[in-house]
């Protein structure tokens, strides 16, 4: 199980801010194909007023991160969730996703959406475990031969 306090929100006052951002960018480059990676624009993304990032810091390195944004007062997006391979299946992805959801909920949004490759079954299962539902299949979302599920988590409704 993950130690309390290991998931932290990144902000400009974070100790070792540059090192953490560098670690996140390295993970981003390694995990995501070039056309899906935000590595070249990561600092720009972090400067946006409606974006946030939580990260897991383990043994002096970033084990994983979740990036989120709230384009409107009612709607948020989980834009990235990544965990280094050696830290997978240890609860970090779930802890990061829960932290990102809580950060979005604190803004009183009503819905969180995300996109995920249907072939990434562990990721789809994690999202479902935390209450996300499949909205639809978006053809050619990632590339000509890679689709995505659009998934959502809704709050404040009686379904």
Asked if residues 110 and 154 have their Cβ atoms less than 8 Å apart, the reply is yes
> What's the mean pLDDT in 105-128?
94
pLDDT on residue 4: 47
Average pLDDT over the chain, rounded to whole? Answer: 87
pLDDT at 31 over 70: yes
**146-154 vs 133-143, strand pairing mode:** antiparallel
Overall average pLDDT of the 73-87 stretch: 93
Flag whether pLDDT at 34 surpasses 80: no
Going from N- to C-terminal start, the domains of the chain cover: 7-154
The CATH code that applies to domain 7-154 is 3.40.630.30
pLDDT score for 67: 93
Give the mean pLDDT of 24-47: 77
Instruction: Report angle CA 59, 65, 71 to the nearest 5 degrees.
Output: 160
Q: Give percent of the chain with pLDDT exceeding 90.
A: 54
- Where helices occur in the chain by DSSP H, the ranges are 17-31, 42-47, 92-105, 121-129
Q: 60: burial class by Cβ within 10 Å (0-12, 13-18, 19+)?
A: exposed
Tell me the percentage of the chain whose pLDDT exceeds 70: 91
Triad 11, 12, 16: Cα angle to 5°:
95
Tokens read off for 90: 């240890």
Question: 76 has which bridge partners?
Answer: 112
Once rounded to an integer, what is the mean pLDDT over residues 71-93?
A: 92
Residue 111 has pLDDT above 60, yes or no: yes
pLDDT by residue (tens digit) across 41-72?
Answer: 777 777 778 889 999 998 888 999 999 999 88
Q: What is the pLDDT of residue 39?
A: 61
Q: Which pTM value belongs to this model?
A: 0.87
């Amino acid at each position: 199980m993950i130690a309390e306090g290991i998931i932290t929100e990144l902000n400009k006052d974070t100790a070792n801010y540059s090192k953490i951002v560098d670690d996140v960018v390295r993970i981003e480059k390694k995990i995501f194909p070039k056309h899906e990676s935000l590595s070249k624009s990561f600092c720009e993304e972090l400067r946006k007023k409606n974006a946030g990032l939580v990260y897991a810091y383990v043994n002096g390195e970033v084990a994983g991160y979740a990036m989120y944004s709230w384009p409107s007062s009612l709607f948020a997006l989980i834009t990235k969730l990544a965990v280094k391979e050696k830290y997978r299946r240890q609860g970090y992805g779930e802890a990061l996703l829960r932290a990102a959801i809580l950060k979005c909920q604190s803004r009183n949004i009503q819905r969180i959406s995300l996109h995920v490759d249907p072939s990434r079954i562990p990721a789809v299962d994690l999202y479902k475990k935390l209450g996300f539902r499949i909205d639809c299949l978006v053809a050619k979302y990632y590339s000509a031969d890679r689709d995505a599920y659009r998934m959502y988590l809704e709050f404040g409704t009686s379904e």
